[in-house]
């Protein structure tokens, strides 16, 4: 089935002046924002650089020997996408600038963005999604109880600054993948009125939702007709919190790896739609979103704190580090769960089952000593059997 890379080969010689931006172009720009442009792309005060020039500089200075993973769920193939964009007339001469990359553990904040100038009066702002860092994922969970996390406020400020540098009456598209989709919507809703008036469309590509207060606000309702949320059929990230509405996209990936936009099926200039969520997607919706939605803000805050204390008890700072030594990390995390109440422990176990392949961890749970550990072992094996049952149902569907 065709994907984003096939789309670039098929449509890569058609300039944006002849055929404007569509939802697949939107995702391509969002995935481009994951590339580490530190020291390469100009900031908001300097001259823009073409995608071809940026690729030449990147691959000349960084010289990656092979496609390398950019994190557990950020595929190394993004570098191949970057090369393809540099070679395709549709993208190669587009100018990119305004690159920002700011991660602060003390503020529990991870923010990155860039701007693409498509034509003289058309711009696309891409907000980077959650990267491999635990602090980035913690900020995702903070969305469930905070009115405005630091990255959201930075997104609105970024759009306000951009307004000062683009022509009056310019057309502005805003989007992001993963948390970047949430930032795109939040930033568009909270930007200055003059900025909001120039926004044509906002794309959230498998991005988390929002608190109900945000969705019910007048500012959101005004922007609502211009917002398009896309999620894969077995989404996890995109089903966190509430959406006003969303379109379900077919992905060739499995489980959490459907979050990888390069796995999304393309038909023409659109993504292939599904009629509904898969069994796994429906389970994610029930197990995570509804359970967390049932908590008070204080309970959500405490749950986030406990969950990341468990992850951080391993000493890992990224999802990749958690999975690289998954057996040792699993033992550490299981023991850290003993003091949690049953409901929170079940939610944590489910989230861990999404982040890990549980099969090799079952023997680890079986070796846990002590009464509390034996009780946890039973719950863990039950979670594993639920995962296997859901996988079989998905494969049949």
Q: What is the pLDDT of residues 14-46, one digit of tens each?
A: 999 999 999 999 999 999 999 988 888 866 656
pLDDT of residue 173: 97
Neighbours of 360 (CB within 10 A): 11
Label residue 284 by pLDDT band (50, 70, 90): low
pLDDT of residue 61: 73
pLDDT of residue 248: 92
Q: How is domain 4-278 classified at the CATH fold level? A: Rossmann fold (3.40.50)
Q: So where are the chain's domains?
A: 4-278, 294-396
pLDDT of residue 368: 53
Label residue 397 by pLDDT band (50, 70, 90): very low
Half-sphere exposure of 333 (CA within 13 A, CB side): 30
Label residue 281 by pLDDT band (50, 70, 90): confident
The DSSP result for 184-237, as a single string, is HHHHHHHS-HHHHHHEEEEEEES---B-HHHHTSHHHHHHGGGEEEEEETT-SG
Assess whether pLDDT exceeds 50 at residue 299: yes
* H helix intervals, the chain: 4-11, 23-32, 51-61, 77-87, 89-92, 134-142, 150-163, 179-190, 193-198, 212-215, 218-223, 279-284, 291-293, 297-312, 319-324, 326-336, 342-355, 362-366, 371-396
pLDDT of residue 204: 95
Assess whether pLDDT exceeds 80 at residue 64: no
Share above pLDDT 70 across residues of the chain, in percent, rounded to a whole number: 75
Q: Which range is most confident: 74-83, 92-101, 326-335? A: 92-101
Q: What is the mean pLDDT of residues 290-314?
A: 76
Q: Which helix (H) or strand (E) holds 115?
A: strand 109-119
Q: What is the mean pLDDT of residues 173-178?
A: 95
DSSP helix/strand/coil, 8: helix
Q: What is the mean pLDDT of residues 240-247?
A: 81
Written as six digits, the tokens of 10 are 């098929």
pLDDT of residue 68: 47
Written as six digits, the tokens of 4 are 């984003």
Written as six digits, the tokens of 287 are 């197990």
Cα–Cα nearest to 111, from 133, 130, 137: 130
Q: What is the mean pLDDT of residues 264-285?
A: 83
Q: What is the mean pLDDT of residues 165-179?
A: 91
Round to whole Å and give the CA distance between 315 and 99. 31
Q: What is the mean pLDDT of residues 208-234?
A: 90
Q: What is the mean pLDDT of residues 46-73?
A: 72
Asked if residue 291 lies in contact with residue 341, where contact means CB atoms within 8 angstroms, the answer is: no
pTM across the whole model: 0.81
pLDDT of residue 302: 81
**Does residue 104 or residue 20 have the better pLDDT?**
20
Label residue 65 by pLDDT band (50, 70, 90): very low
Count of positions (residues) in the chain: 397
Q: Encode pLDDT of 321-376 as tens digits.
A: 776 666 667 667 777 776 677 777 777 776 766 655 545 455 555 555 555 455 55
Q: What is the mean pLDDT of residues 230-258?
A: 81
Assess whether pLDDT exceeds 80 at residue 134: no
Residue 373's alpha-carbon distances to 238, 239, 339, 355, in angstroms, are 33, 31, 11, 21
- For all residues of the chain together, what is the average pLDDT? 80
pLDDT of residue 314: 79
Q: Beta 49-50 vs 122-127: how paired, if at all?
A: unpaired
Asked if residue 280 lies in contact with residue 16, where contact means CB atoms within 8 angstroms, the answer is: no
**Does residue 286 or residue 130 have the better pLDDT?**
130
Asked if residue 252 lies in contact with residue 219, where contact means CB atoms within 8 angstroms, the answer is: no
Written as six digits, the tokens of 390 are 């859901």
pLDDT of residue 66: 46
């Amino acid at each position: 089935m065709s994907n984003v890379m096939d789309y670039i080969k098929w449509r890569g010689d058609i300039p944006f002046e002849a055929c404007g931006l569509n939802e697949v172009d939107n995702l391509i720009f969002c995935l481009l924002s994951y590339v580490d442009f530190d020291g390469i792309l100009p900031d908001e005060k300097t001259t823009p650089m073409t995608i071809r020039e940026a690729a030449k500089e990147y691959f000349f200075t960084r010289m990656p020997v092979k496609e390398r993973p950019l994190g557990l769920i950020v595929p190394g193939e993004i570098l191949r996408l970057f090369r393809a964009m540099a070679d395709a007339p549709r993208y190669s001469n587009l100018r990119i600038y305004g690159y920002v990359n700011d991660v602060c553990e003390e503020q529990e904040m991870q923010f990155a963005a860039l701007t693409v100038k498509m034509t003289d009066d058309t711009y696309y702002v891409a907000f980077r999604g959650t990267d491999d860092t635990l602090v980035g994922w913690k900020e995702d969970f903070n969305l469930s109880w905070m009115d405005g996390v630091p990255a959201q406020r930075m997104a609105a400020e970024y759009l306000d600054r951009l307004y000062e540098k683009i022509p009056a009456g310019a057309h502005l598209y805003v989007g992001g993948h993963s948390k970047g989709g949430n930032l795109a919507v939040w930033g568009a809703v909270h930007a200055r009125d003059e900025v909001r008036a120039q926004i044509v469309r906002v794309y959230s590509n498998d991005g988390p939702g929002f608190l109900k207060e945000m969705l019910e606000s007048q500012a959101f309702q005004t922007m609502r007709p211009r917002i398009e949320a896309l999620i894969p059929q077995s989404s996890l990230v995109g089903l966190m919190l509430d959406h006003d509405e969303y379109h379900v996209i077919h992905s060739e990936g499995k489980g959490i790896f459907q979050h990888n936009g390069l796995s999304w099926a393309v038909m023409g200039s659109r993504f292939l739609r599904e009629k509904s969520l898969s069994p796994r997607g429906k389970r994610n919706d029930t197990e995570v979103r509804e359970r967390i939605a049932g908590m008070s803000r204080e309970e959500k805050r405490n749950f986030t704190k406990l969950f990341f204390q468990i992850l951080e008890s391993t000493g890992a700072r990224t999802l990749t580090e958690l999975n690289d030594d998954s057996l040792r990390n699993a033992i550490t995390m299981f023991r850290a769960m003993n003091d949690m109440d049953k409901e929170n422990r079940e939610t944590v176990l489910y989230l861990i089952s999404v982040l890990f392949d549980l099969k090799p961890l079952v023997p680890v749970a079986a070796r846990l000593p002590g009464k509390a550990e034996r009780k946890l072992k039973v719950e863990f094996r039950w979670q594993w059997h639920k995962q296997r049952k859901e996988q079989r149902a998905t494969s049949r569907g």
